[in-house]
Structure 1
Amino acid sequence: MDEAPSSPRLSHNSKSTTSLTHTTGGSEPTLSTEVDDPSHPLYHHRRIVSDFDYGDILGEGSYSTVLIGKDKRTGKQYAVKRLDKAHIVKNNKVKYVMIERDALSRMNHPGIVKLYWTYKDNRSLYFVLDLARSGELYTYVRRLAPFDLETAKFYAAEILLAIEHIHERGVIHRDIKPENILLDDSMHIKVTDFGSAKIIDENNQQEGEDTAGTRSFVGTAEYVSPELLRSDRVSKEADMWAFGCVIYQMLSGKSPFKAPTDYLIFQKIKNLEYVMPDEFPSAAKDIIQKLLTSDPEQRFGSQTLGGIQAMKDHPFFDGVDWENIFNLTAPPLKERLEEEAKKHPIVQPKFDFDGVEDDEDDEDIWFHNNRGNSQKDPFRDRTPVVHESISPLSSADVSPLDPVKHEELAADSPELNPTSSFLNRASVLQREESTKGMSQLSSVASSVQSIPERIGPHPTWIPHLYPNESVIKSGRVTRRRAFISKKRNLVLTNRPRLLYLDEGSGKDKFDGNLRCEIPWTSKLLPELKGKSIFCIHTPEKSYTFEDRKHAQEWVNTINSMLVDTFGVAS
């Protein structure tokens, strides 16, 4: 790859032919770059792997890793995204890598992550990008929202200017959301993640557009516009729809279209089914309603309605200094977040059922562990979903609660007999608690005989359940933390409680100790990070699990329980 046109050392008019290709049979992509020719005028400005010192890992995705890279020539720090060639080819991601590179190469705006250089070695491709140290806007929205009107207006104005530049450069972003909006040292925005973008040629035709009528789309369910659900042609107005969702989220703390499954989210979007909070300022209500319009031609920001300039003139943006906003002092979100962290400090490491310190779960969420050292990885497959020919939608897409399949357990096996297991555990408790009185233990033991009738056979971890508690979903997962992964069993009950246990040593490996009970609160947030990876976020910690077959089911089921418990998915 050649140096991106946004590099300060290159002219925007300088061009170099670059291509990323691969052959059939799964070989690595081959990079062809004119700049690598010593006769090329930009040869001495190209970069190679050894030009940088590489530091901490800022983020990891399914086929990329983002690290801090220090330029040996200048000492300046960048975010260096390293992409694995073999993985890119194997998973058909070449197109998205090239879209990201081509789209970013067109950008030159303070509100958009800048691509400085690209280079390669035998195994990897490298993008050198702006280092956004303050993390994602999503983190601040999740912890601090609802924002006050002035804060929401400030960030909405910066996002709008960035979208305006993206559209002027012939690109449709198609995945505008708080997770894709970074914050720099001064807390100004940097839009990132152009892997879902569409590039429009001079004739206003979208590159790679499918003329057969069936179109795929890439995006995130809660921000997908109605025209994409109708399989209509993608337009710039799709970004305006997502922009309306972001304003709503900053002012309320949640997206307007929230549901346990993608199918239900899509139904709400198609029916414009959302609630406008009474506390929203009238100007905010008006601009959101005009943005969340089904017909893209009648959507605020469309050329029919005066384009983006008409949006700038809306009363919601009264008082915005459009010319100098990126030079102004940003709202003190970082200070507010630190105050919030002090009010809700990290809890001490949890102890397992037997009182042993569980030091492996010391996984703090971003704002405690990586403040001032965070960078979004555009290729980490966090929540974007790729739908091929999504219409028509059917009820089969709904993922109902998945109760444990009791018939799969050998009920007549001594190891799986719940009554004997519970009584064995009760005898242990009796010895340990003899000095504390036996009334509670006796009460629990007296109910043992009725448990199998109420909830059916269970494995040996039944002592971790209450007498009237049953299992909604359980399964073997891999607990991931940094470079460590361990087999665990994850259990969701009807109380509801969310437990995970050691893998154990028995025949079915369900006899392990209780490692942790993940607090069930309205702040609980399940998050799909890929086909097999999902996270469970709490205000104190984040837990990362891998389930190759059921990651989406875990997220859907937990979201369903959150809706049942608190009325809305957290």
Structure 2
Amino acid sequence: LNPDCASSSLCPSMEAPSAEARAAELRTQTAMQASQPRKKRPEDFKFGKILGEGSFSTVVLAKEQSTGKEYAIKILDKRHIVKSKKAQYVKRERDLLSNLDHPFFVKLYFTFQDDEKLYFGLSFAKNGELLKYIRKIGSFDETCTRFYSAEIVCALEYLHNKEIIHRDLKPENILLSEDMHIQITDFGTAKQLTDSKQSKANSFVGTAQYVSPELLTDKSACKSSDLWALGCIIYQLVAGLPPFRAGNEYLIFQKITKLEYEFPEKFFPKAKDLVQRLLSLDPSMRIGCEEMGGYDPLRRHPFFETTSWDDLHLQSPPKLTPYLPAMSEDDEDCYGNYDDLLSQFSSMQVSQSSSSHSLSAPESLPPQRSSSNIEQYIHDLDNNSFELDLQFSEEEKQLLLDKQTTGNPWHQFVENNLILKMGPVDKRKGLFARRRQLLLTEGPHLYYVDPVNKVLKGTIPWSLELRPEAKNFKTFFVHTPNRTYYLMDPSGNADKWCKKIQEVWRKIYQSHQGPGL
């Protein structure tokens, strides 16, 4: 038809539509709009607890009002994004997540915005970060380590086949779904390699303990950088701590560029070989990289010889079980002579007859106090350890505290609380153990002190959920809601620690509940 034609008689199609035609067209448009899902809005959701916080975003658990389905909604502040010049990272994360369809990654279901914020609706991984479980149980046994390492390998193979590098792979960014499979998250620093010729991304991103050496030396990351991070994670699953550790980021980076790390003695041999093949300074020599034949050699590594790769996402994950190798008698040597250290410490703190004198008992009581047979409450277990019976009166408690203040060098660490039991323990974190002086006090508190450097290293958080458990004569656990502490009493009195902790727990619990309960 000639668009310049002005005569309706010559161009019947240009005639004004009838009322029926207009109504039909309106019905068609309404039907089309109804078939398209309405853009979601904040008021469609009931927002709950905060799941995580980043530098310019907060992840919140949210339930959709109409369906009852739960999502992890990432909320980003527009003004802060613009001010920080992070718009490209936000767009990149949205685009990359939209391009992923794999069970081992979080899924992006929808996005929407209002005047101030952007919203990403992500799958909710109910069991939280992998790091939480490493901290909770210390280290994984070989079966658990193999299973979760294999899932990470599958995820990285999928990602790299799509020419994407994550660049910040770490236990905090590996979530666990309701059925305990991994879901990798946080693609804010990920990079899409635009073509086959681009094999590197030239910007510094990542977390210190997992940063690859090429990022430090050449300021560039590649697919193999993710394999380096995989090696660090496998090491951490077994040992309980990442391989490169130091007091600050600079010292960590120095260790990474020098490949300066050590394996604990009881590290699984096949896992050790795999980690060594992943932690290569030369990215082209890491098992799994394209120059080394891709992912087939990595899958065939002896550590994965029992792994069924085809249906990992359908398998039932193994129960998370801590790796607790028995400590040999020779392990005592790695802590030094504790009695010598204690003797040096005591001579610096108190002027008593010798290091063999009981730390709990000065030779005389303060003269201003009335006499009381408080010695009946004190039980010396050996030169370095003692415990108190708990039946003393308030007056006797003050006498005991006066005695502790003048005669016990550990008093300075307990905030003027009366020590109810003390002694040396080996505090284990993964496969690493350190000698500590454990101090159970009123409050109640469980302090642990570095006897070499004379520094309070921390406290075991006390709550009504705290629960001690003796594993054998030497080893005992202290279970707390967020972590299990693994301790070893070198004198073989683990049961005494558990009984005294339980006794203090009962005393505190009964005081909360009242005498009639």
User: What's the TM-score once normalised by structure 2's chain length?
Assistant: 0.58
In structure 2, the residue corresponding to 1:101 is in which secondary structure? helix
- The match for 2:80 is 87
Report if aligned partners of 1:198, 1:206 keep a CA contact under 8 Å in 2: no
**C-alpha distance in structure 1 between counterparts of 2:49 and 2:220, whole Å:** 42
- The match for 1:288 is 275
- The match for 1:325 is 312
- The match for 1:99 is 92
- The match for 2:426 is none
Report if aligned partners of 1:497, 1:517 keep a CA contact under 8 Å in 2: no
Match of 2:106 among 86, 109, 113: 113
**C-alpha distance in structure 2 between counterparts of 1:328 and 1:497, whole Å:** 42
Amino acid at match of 2:292: L
Q: What's the CA shift for 1:303?
A: 0.9
- The match for 2:453 is none
Q: What's the CA shift for 1:205?
A: 3.0
Q: Compared with structure 1, are the counterparts of its residues 539 and 92 closer, same or farther at alpha carbon in structure 2 (3 Å cutoff)?
A: farther
In structure 1, the residue corresponding to 2:140 is in which secondary structure? coil
Amino acid at match of 1:279: K
* 1:233 equivalenced with 2:220 (yes/no): yes
Task: Render the CA deviation track for 1:333-358: whole Å, top value 9, x for unaligned.
Answer: 2xx69xx9xxxxxxxxxxxxxxxxxx
Question: Per chain length, whose mean CA-contact separation is higher, i.e. which structure has more relative contact order (CA < 8 Å, sep 6+)?
Answer: 1
Amino acid at match of 2:67: T
**C-alpha distance in structure 2 between counterparts of 1:322 and 1:310, whole Å:** 13
Q: Compared with structure 1, are the counterparts of its residues 286 and 440 closer, same or farther at alpha carbon in structure 2 (3 Å cutoff)?
A: closer
- The match for 1:348 is none
In structure 1, the residue corresponding to 2:89 is in which secondary structure? helix
**C-alpha distance in structure 2 between counterparts of 1:301 and 1:443, whole Å:** 60
Q: Compared with structure 1, are the counterparts of its residues 251 and 462 closer, same or farther at alpha carbon in structure 2 (3 Å cutoff)?
A: closer
Amino acid at match of 2:221: V
Q: Compared with structure 1, are the counterparts of its residues 516 and 270 closer, same or farther at alpha carbon in structure 2 (3 Å cutoff)?
A: farther
Q: Compared with structure 1, are the counterparts of its residues 199 and 77 closer, same or farther at alpha carbon in structure 2 (3 Å cutoff)?
A: same
- The match for 1:258 is 245
Amino acid at match of 1:297: S
Q: What's the CA shift for 1:329?
A: 0.6
Report if aligned partners of 2:52, 2:59 keep a CA contact under 8 Å in 1: yes
Amino acid at match of 1:329: S
- The match for 1:483 is none
Q: What's the CA shift for 1:301?
A: 1.2
Report if aligned partners of 2:446, 2:462 keep a CA contact under 8 Å in 1: no
Match of 1:50 among 25, 43, 49: 43
Task: Render the CA deviation track for 1:508-555: whole Å, top value 9, x for unaligned.
Answer: xxxxxxx99784469xxxxxxxxxxxxx895668xxxxxxxxxxxxxx
* 1:302 equivalenced with 2:289 (yes/no): yes
Unaligned runs of 5+ in 1: 1-37, 211-215, 341-425, 448-454, 456-460, 467-494, 499-514, 523-535, 542-570
Report if aligned partners of 1:497, 1:518 keep a CA contact under 8 Å in 2: yes
Amino acid at match of 2:107: K
Q: What's the CA shift for 1:144?
A: 1.8
Alignment of 1:92-491 (within 5 A): 92-205=85-198, 216-333=203-320, 441=402
**C-alpha distance in structure 1 between counterparts of 2:99 and 2:47, whole Å:** 27
Q: What's the CA shift for 1:131?
A: 0.4
Task: Render the CA deviation track for 1:243-272: whole Å, top value 9, x for unaligned.
Answer: 011111111111111111111111111111
**C-alpha distance in structure 2 between counterparts of 1:180 and 1:242, whole Å:** 12
**C-alpha distance in structure 1 between counterparts of 2:414 and 2:136, whole Å:** 36
Q: What's the CA shift for 1:278?
A: 3.2
**C-alpha distance in structure 1 between counterparts of 2:96 and 2:448, whole Å:** 41
Amino acid at match of 1:280: F
Q: What's the CA shift for 1:42?
A: 8.8
Task: Render the CA deviation track for 1:169-221: whole Å, top value 9, x for unaligned.
Answer: 221101111111000010000001111212210244379x66xxxxx411111
**C-alpha distance in structure 1 between counterparts of 2:215 and 2:73, whole Å:** 33
Task: Render the CA deviation track for 1:266-312: whole Å, top value 9, x for unaligned.
Answer: 11111111112332333212111110000001111111111112101
Q: Compared with structure 1, are the counterparts of its residues 233 and 437 closer, same or farther at alpha carbon in structure 2 (3 Å cutoff)?
A: closer
**C-alpha distance in structure 1 between counterparts of 2:300 and 2:84, whole Å:** 45
Amino acid at match of 1:256: P
RMSD over aligned CA atoms reads 4.0
Report if aligned partners of 1:248, 1:254 keep a CA contact under 8 Å in 2: yes
Q: Compared with structure 1, are the counterparts of its residues 260 and 39 closer, same or farther at alpha carbon in structure 2 (3 Å cutoff)?
A: farther
Structure 1 or 2, whichever has the larger Rg, is 2
Match of 1:75 among 64, 68, 72: 68
Q: Compared with structure 1, are the counterparts of its residues 438 and 175 closer, same or farther at alpha carbon in structure 2 (3 Å cutoff)?
A: same
In structure 2, the residue corresponding to 1:217 is in which secondary structure? coil
Report if aligned partners of 2:210, 2:228 keep a CA contact under 8 Å in 1: yes
**C-alpha distance in structure 1 between counterparts of 2:184 and 2:199, whole Å:** 21
- The size of the alignment, in residue pairs, is 341
Q: Compared with structure 1, are the counterparts of its residues 229 and 540 closer, same or farther at alpha carbon in structure 2 (3 Å cutoff)?
A: farther
- The match for 1:361 is none
Q: Compared with structure 1, are the counterparts of its residues 159 and 40 closer, same or farther at alpha carbon in structure 2 (3 Å cutoff)?
A: farther
Q: What's the CA shift for 1:236?
A: 0.5
**C-alpha distance in structure 1 between counterparts of 2:83 and 2:50, whole Å:** 24
Report if aligned partners of 2:46, 2:64 keep a CA contact under 8 Å in 1: yes
Q: What's the CA shift for 1:68?
A: 2.1
Report if aligned partners of 1:199, 1:206 keep a CA contact under 8 Å in 2: no
Q: Compared with structure 1, are the counterparts of its residues 317 and 60 closer, same or farther at alpha carbon in structure 2 (3 Å cutoff)?
A: same
**C-alpha distance in structure 2 between counterparts of 1:435 and 1:124, whole Å:** 62
Q: What's the CA shift for 1:234?
A: 1.5
**C-alpha distance in structure 2 between counterparts of 1:137 and 1:437, whole Å:** 47
